[in-house]
Amino acid sequence: MNVLLGIGGSDDSIRALEQSVERAQAAGDDLTVVILENPESDREPTDIESRVFQTLEDAEFTAEVRHLSGDPGSQLVDLAEREGFDQIVLGGGQRSPMGKIKLGHISEFVLLNSPVSVKLVR
């Protein structure tokens, strides 16, 4: 499977990175990690990139790492469609006190507009 992981620096996206690398390694999937501009994150893109490379190195796994600029949701959906990815993986989805899932703006856009399957990691 050809998997596209969008990471914007949230704790959920870091968990998505770790789980996606583990899953890709076990299943033999191809993984592309895309670092997104996320205004809701306190982490700098260089810090996120360092974390990505450290996670890949620790797992002894090779994945392509890219940066996307502009609107992260639409850029991610466009990339997935243009390059024929089978799945998009994102961190996202917090539970409200009432038990409903609250999505960030990137996750919501991708879920509503993606032509491929979307996996949310919480």
Q: Lowest-pLDDT range, 7-11, 53-57, 71-75, 76-80?
A: 7-11
* Closest among 93, 100, 95 to 120, alpha carbons compared: 93
Strand partners of residue 118: 88
- Averaged pLDDT, 28-39: 93
- Residue 9 falls within a domain, yes or no? no
Q: Establish if 116 belongs to a structural domain.
A: yes
100 lies in some domain? yes
**Contact, 3 vs 31, CB < 8 A?**
yes
Buried b (16+ CB within 10 A) or exposed e, 73-111: bebbbebbeeeebebbbbbbbeeeeeeeeebbebbebbb
Into how many domains does the chain fold?
1
Show the domain range for 103: 28-121
Query: Is 20 domain-assigned?
Result: no
pLDDT-derived band at 20, boundaries 50, 70, 90: very high
Mean pLDDT calculated for residue range 40-68: 94
Give domain status of residue 2, yes or no: no
pLDDT mean over 7-28: 93
Q: Over the stretch 64-121, which tens digit does the pLDDT of each residue have?
A: 999 998 999 999 999 999 999 999 999 876 766 777 777 888 899 999 999 999 999 8
Q: Is residue 115 part of a domain?
A: yes
Q: What is the CATH number of the domain that holds 93?
A: 3.40.50.620
Residue 81 lies in a domain: yes
Does residue 68 form part of some domain? yes
Global pTM reads 0.91
Q: What is the mean pLDDT of the chain?
A: 92
